[in-house]
A and B are shown apart, each in its own frame.
Chain A
């Protein structure tokens, strides 16, 4: 039955259920148990923010703490996947892809194609994304576009606990490599989540709010900013339809296009930097495929073309705000921002 749990709990539950269901599922990463080899308690951390806490007691050595060697253990997860396991490797912060990208880019993503279809690599790489934690330039980036660019990878970024559980279960059962992006600012957010297992198919966007005037497309944390913006817009009579992409590769173009065909207006909100971003991708796709439906130029609300700053005053300016989304929507409707 459903009860309210946080996204953090939902991810933990998805891992637990899948490890129970399938003995080939293993979980590895830095400090995912915590305290390995140390004199104190085992499961001391359960992940740097406690997402995997408690799983070691249930599944023992199927959870493995790794040395700080991202290339080695991400690569090992990929190698094990090619040999019949379903590893879930935690990269902690997606920013750390810099030290292991070859294994993702040139190995996991390529095996299937490069070996003429004769390999499969069912690996999941979980990692935190996003700003808002005052964690500065190397622990806060929304690097989703770097992965959506790569054929062979799937990229997922849930915006709530229900989706996180169902999408992670799908990611584990999926036969392709999946980059599973968890926005750290959403770990505490709660919603109704069934206790049972369920899988949400990829490439199915979620229309989180219906509206007829402007389509706002987003994913992850900024879905919630878009919802705030929609409340403000509603007060001025503008009904915004909000689409949560949920998976960025594959992506549900149909839902986006159908919505724009109704509203004629598009705002894309992306916490990634603007160049070659999800926002740019969606705007270009809509311009190319639904140009006739557009009543105004598509608007992009993104982070600026800067690294993520540290000082809270700067970081708050960095993340796309509800006000910026309202302004962009008003630009498409040519209505003044309500005072």
Chain B
């Protein structure tokens, strides 16, 4: 047996790769399907950022809660939300995760600890403080993770929440997914500090910046701060510097990006390639095992799209249900 230099056993490495591959294929396929005009509304794709979701979520169970962003598919998949239900939701079908009432930007599954993608930037930070507070009252050891981009990092809600989490010593991890662009606006323009760790320091929180394209860097940094929070050590911030392969939303011509930027990133900074390269070259995982997962995931996404397309639409009565528990 080959010596495993990684912090995860082989089966978990394969699971992490499967998660990232599922996210990638899910998003790549949506990119194609969206262009056909079958998918209503806005879709924000997570392709290129998979290592962040997978690296963090590897440490979580259903008792842990996450609050996601408008770019939430990757978080959902990594947190265990059913891919078929997600795809059906994105197609606006009655069989969707939210019965066709939420769409891409609002996929949630509270039974999995997924408190929802969120169309309001920075809105998840206060919510996750509440989730962490509930975990603290229950004493179930759960932690809360709130994701937000470099753009939403400038929302007052995020800053208020860092302070609240700090003074109440809540088990909350603030994850900045810094892909360099707030919609079309560069982080260099919109954010006054060079490092989000400086923001964290301002609230007395420990913070760390990692290369978000490196699964292992994310995994190790997240592991440490999540363990600390779980044990009562309080909140922390994790900044993941990462790459957005696509535009802000589908249909974004990305004129604000540098010429060749996407191609360069696809070639040199693809977190899946980097991961697969490392685990195969170390001899822990074989190329055949990677290829098998790729085939299985491709089939899964095919199946999900096929099912979503064939699924029934919501009925007119669904318009009026689910507004209240009772009214």
Q: Given A102-B123, A176-B324, is A81 in contact with B164 using a C-beta cutoff of 8 Å?
A: no
Give the nearest-CB partner of A68 in chain B: B160
Given the interface contacts A76-B126, A117-B322, A175-B326, does A71 sit within 8 Å of B106 by beta carbon?
no
Interchain CA distance A148-B116 in the complex, whole Å: 25
What 0/1 readout, one digit per residue, does chain B (50-75) give for beta carbons within 8 Å of chain A? 00000000000000010100000000
A102 to B156, CA, bound (A): 12
Within A174-224, the residues touching B (CB, 8 Å) are 174-176, 203
Instruction: Let me know if A107 is at the binding interface, CB within 8 A.
Output: yes
The answer to whether A75 and B119 have CB atoms under 8 Å apart is no
- Asked whether, in the complex, the Cβ of A75 is within 8 Å of the Cβ of B137, the reply is no
CB distance B110 to A76 under 8 Å? no
A250 (CB) vs chain B CBs: closest residue: B327
Determine how close the nearest CB of chain B comes to the CB of A333; give it in whole angstroms.
35
- Tell me whether A312 is interfacial, beta carbon within 8 Å: no
* Given known A-B contacts A79-B129, A85-B137, A115 and B123 have beta carbons under 8 A apart: no
Asked if A82 contacts B131 (CB within 8 A), the reply is yes
Given the complex of chains A and B, what is the CA–CA distance between A115 and B103 in angstroms?
9
CB-CB under 8 A for A115 and B108, given A102-B157, A107-B123: yes
B65 / chain A contacts, CB cutoff of 8 Å: 83
In the complex, what distance in Å separates the CA atom of A57 from the CA atom of B95?
Answer: 50
Chain A at the B interface: SS class: mixed
Taking a contact as CB atoms under 8 Å apart, the answer to whether A114 and B164 are in contact is: no
Contact A116 B129 (CB under 8 A): no
Beyond A79-B115, A176-B325, whether A116 also contacts B135 by CB under 8 A is no
CB-CB nearest in chain A for B94:
A116
Could you tell me the distance between the alpha carbons of A79 and B129 in the complex, rounded to whole angstroms? 7
Q: Which residue from B67, B129, B160, B323 sits with its C-beta under 8 Å from A152?
A: B323
Task: Tell me, yes or no, whether A73 is within 8 Å of chain B by CB.
Answer: yes
- Whether A71 and B160, one on each chain, are in contact in the complex, defined by CB atoms closer than 8 angstroms, is yes
Residue A154 lies at the interface, judged by CB distance under 8 Å to chain B: yes
Asked whether A83 and B106 contact (CB < 8 A) given A113-B322, A176-B325, the answer is no
CB of A128 within 8 A of chain B?
no
Q: Which of B98, B123, B135, B138 contacts A75 (CB 8 A)?
A: B123
Tell me the bound Cα distance from A13 to B109 in angstroms: 36
Question: Main SS of the interface on chain B?
Answer: mixed
A46 → B minimal CB distance (Å): 20
Q: Considering the complex, which residues of chain B in the window 208-224 have a beta carbon less than 8 Å from any beta carbon of chain A?
A: none
**Does A119 belong to the interface (CB within 8 Å)?**
yes
Q: Is the CB of B323 within 8 A of A79?
A: no
Indicate if the CB atoms of B326 and A66 lie closer than 8 Å: no
Instruction: Give the chain B neighbours of A102 by CB distance below 8 A.
Output: 120, 123, 157
Q: Is A77 an interface residue (CB 8 A)?
A: yes
- In chain B, what residue has the closest Cβ to A64? B168
Residue B102 at the A interface, CB < 8 A? yes
Contacts of B157 in A (CB 8 A): 71-72, 75, 102-103
Query: What is the total number of residues of chain B having a CB less than 8 Å from a CB of chain A?
Result: 48
A139 adjacent to chain B (CB < 8 Å) = no
**Smallest Cβ distance from B304 to chain A, in angstroms?**
17
Min Cβ gap B65→A in Å is: 6
Knowing A73-B126, A83-B131, A85-B134 touch, does A175 contact B325 (C-beta < 8 A)? Answer: yes
The answer, yes or no, to whether A289 is at the interface (CB within 8 Å) is: no
Decide if B116 touches A67 in the complex (CB within 8 Å). Answer: no
Contacts of A106 in B (CB 8 A): 119-120, 123
Interface centre among A75, A77, A106, A203 (most CB of B within 10 A): A75
B102 close to A83 (CB less than 8 A): no
Are A113 and B323 interface neighbours, CB within 8 A?
yes
Give the residue name and chain of the A residue nearest to B322 (CB).
A117
Interface residues of B (CB under 8 A from A): 65, 67, 96-102, 106, 108-111, 115-116, 118-120, 123, 125-131, 133-135, 137-138, 144, 156-157, 160-161, 163-164, 167-168, 321-327
What are 24 A-B pairs at a CB distance below 8 A? A67-B164, A67-B167, A71-B126, A72-B129, A72-B157, A72-B163, A76-B129, A76-B161, A79-B115, A82-B127, A83-B131, A85-B137, A102-B120, A102-B123, A103-B127, A106-B123, A112-B323, A114-B101, A114-B102, A116-B99, A118-B98, A118-B111, A152-B324, A176-B327
Q: Which 9 pairs, one residue from A and one from B, show the smallest C-beta to C-beta distance?
A: A75-B126, A79-B130, A79-B127, A116-B99, A116-B98, A80-B130, A117-B322, A72-B160, A175-B325
Q: Report A's interface with B, CB cutoff 8 A.
A: 24, 26, 62, 64, 66-67, 69, 71-85, 87, 102-103, 106-107, 110-120, 151-152, 154, 174-176, 203, 250
